[in-house]
Amino acid sequence: MKVVIFAGGLGTRLAEETDVRPKPMVEIGGKPILWHIMKIYEHYGFNEFIVCLGYKGYVIKEYFTQYFLRNADLTVNLANNSIEYHASASENFKVTLVETGIHTKTAGRLQHVQKYLDDEDFMLTYGDGVSDVNINQLLAYHQQHNKIATVTSIQLDSRFGGLELDKEGNVLAFREKAKDESKWINGGFFVLKPEVFHYLKGDMSNMMWEDDPLEQLAGDGQLAAFRHEGFWKPMDALRDKIELEAMWKNNNAKWKVW
């Protein structure tokens, strides 16, 4: 089963890093967050990826075309310009890199890579979020309900403490950074049937995957949610990158399932 990854956005809220690289190439522990996402899938046996490129897509192309070179011992013979490769720490990834347009929105990017997908179920996620979601359990859930689409739903931690008050304003209870148990949000890590492309007809270049396509799937009763109560974190801003980097350095990278 193939894994599609959105990696073409501008990443404007992380401008400190994305002036020179696309957001999926911002590094955590010396590796792009895109690599971390791929490692999650590889751990569960999925190592064939289709990456939707856009903003500064050439940076991602250069990274993967030079990956073996970067991670191998080698001997360079300058006399005949030959290279002999020795031990390599390269990953067992097969990566298809697809130019889907600099300004194309997510529905258009997905539509653009349909030709690289076989007529079978596939997975889809964002190139800027990591999680310890169990991909095998997610896939089993998708196969069980037999709907066209499954989205991993998560509950965000509140950035602020929660107060429980009585009518007089007395604090009855205080909860620091509690989860909003009433609201589940889109956490990516989708599983999709090929019939999903029936919801991506016409010119979708200005359409977000999260708008009409998902709304119509939900309206048709074809969207199910896999509830994930474990770790999940997007890298939306510089503070998120700093937090993820600290977790990695402190051996507390909860998404590191490999």
Q: Give the integer Cα–Cα distance in Å for 104 and 28.
A: 27
Select from 83, 81, 80, 18 the least CA-distant residue to 54.
18
Phi then psi for residue 80, to 5 deg, are -125, 10
The average pLDDT across 204-216 equals: 96
Alpha carbons within 13 A on the beta-carbon side of 32: 20
Give the pair of three-digit tokens for residue 16. Answer: 């400190």
**Whether pLDDT at 224 is above 80:** yes
**Whether pLDDT at 179 is above 70:** no
**Whether pLDDT at 177 is above 60:** no
Between 21 and 3, name the one with better pLDDT: 3
Q: Give the integer Cα–Cα distance in Å for 249 and 244.
A: 9
Percent of the chain clearing pLDDT 70 (strictly above): 90
The average pLDDT across 215-226 equals: 95
State the Cα angle at 256 between 253 and 257, rounded to 5°.
140
**Burial category of 245 from C-beta neighbours within 10 Å (exposed 0-12, middle 13-18, buried 19 and up):** middle
Q: Using one digit for the tens of pLDDT, what is the confidence trace for 64-110?
A: 999 988 889 999 999 999 999 988 888 999 999 999 999 999 999 99
Q: Using one digit for the tens of pLDDT, what is the confidence trace for 37-73?
A: 999 999 999 999 999 999 999 999 999 999 988 889 9
Q: Give the integer Cα–Cα distance in Å for 100 and 94.
A: 19
Ordered domains of the chain (ranges, CATH): 3-156+184-249 (3.90.550.10)
